[in-house]
Amino acid sequence: MDRSSPGEETGEVGGEGRGSDLRIVSDPLSGREVIFAPGRARRPGSYGALLEPAAPDEAEVCPFCEGRERETPPELFALGGSDDREPDTPGWKVRVVPNLYPAFERQQVVIHTPTHARSLGEIPDNQLALLAAAWAEVAERAWAQGFDHLFAFINEGKAAGASRPHSHSQLIWLDGLPPEIAAEAPRLRQGSCALCALLDGLDPTLKLAERKVGESTVSLAVSPTGRAPYELLIAPSEHLPDAFGCTELLAAALALAAEGVRRLNAIEGPSPFNIWLHNFQRDGHWHLELLPRLNVFAGIELGAGIFVNTLEPKAAAARLRG
């Protein structure tokens, strides 16, 4: 099969049943194979998942909202409150509690806002700065107790695995790099970093926005090798391994992720998505990946590890810029 580098167009991919609009790329970060097949967007049920509409009494019964602190496990800590605030009482801005149904030894929930917000895109930058600080605080606690990795992620919408509509993230303490990040690590080492090369050679039409923090820059771009329509990549231009070591840069990245969510929702409607942080304590290039869940990964993606994307990155970027 013909393959192209990220963003490089190929001609017709020959063979029985293959159309002239197919383009095959290899993701330089993970090595996964992605087939861009715009023609498949015309098939029935291609994609169109949306966030579930709010239930009539959703905000009135939400256990993550301020005033219902006793309905969650006892909080581990909270940020943004007064010095004399008692735990599990109102007056907080960001709150961290144990996961009620953990799948890991240490799995925690970070509640992003005391008011009922259904999407990361609704949260202002100053609140996202507190979210970054909360992630960094949990990371420090994990390192102090001998854990080697903190995996941070956000699920939004049932199609993305969220069980609560109130915006929140989860933090999992691990003894080592999880498999996906471990697979990337050799490709993202200083001096031969695939992400540095990707950012240096990125097609300018794929970049949507950037934030400057001192001498550093964090950018939001459509992934040139996205697994699904509108997949986004948020990363610092510098080769930095640990996002938790600079909360200002992490806050800028989260603000760009929220901007990406707003752009996505503006063109597709309220959309489910996953965001995760790939972090490297020693050597690597940290980044956020935002994967919209507008379509369903089926047998070829889950069984063969080959992802079929029906929307070309340039077309996705043009829509998101609009």
- Residues contacting 95, CB < 8 A, separation 6+: 69, 72, 75, 78, 79, 110, 111, 114
pLDDT in tens, 64-119: 999 999 999 999 999 999 999 999 999 999 999 999 999 999 999 999 999 999 99
Half-sphere exposure of 94 (CA within 13 A, CB side): 24
pLDDT of residue 47 exceeding 70: no
pLDDT of residue 9 exceeding 70: no
pLDDT of the residue at 41: 75
pLDDT of the residue at 201: 95
pLDDT of the residue at 44: 59
pLDDT of residue 210 exceeding 70: yes
pLDDT of the residue at 45: 55
* Type of residue numbered 295: N
* Phi and psi based region of residue 157 (left: phi greater than 0; alpha: psi -120 to 50; beta: remaining): left
Question: Alpha-carbon dihedral of residues 71, 77, 78, 81, nearest 10 degrees?
Answer: 110
Confidence of residue 49 (pLDDT cuts 50, 70, 90): confident
Euclidean distance between CA atoms 163 and 151, whole angstroms: 19
* 40 contacts 19 by C-beta, under 8 angstroms: no
Query: Percent of the chain, pLDDT > 90?
Result: 86
CATH architecture of the domain formed by 85-295+312-322: 2-Layer Sandwich (3.30)
pLDDT of the residue at 40: 82
Least confident of 47-56, 231-240, 261-270, 285-294: 47-56
Q: Quickly count: other Cβ atoms within 10 Å of residue 185's Cβ.
A: 16
Residue ranges per structural domain of the chain: 85-295+312-322
Confidence of residue 6 (pLDDT cuts 50, 70, 90): low
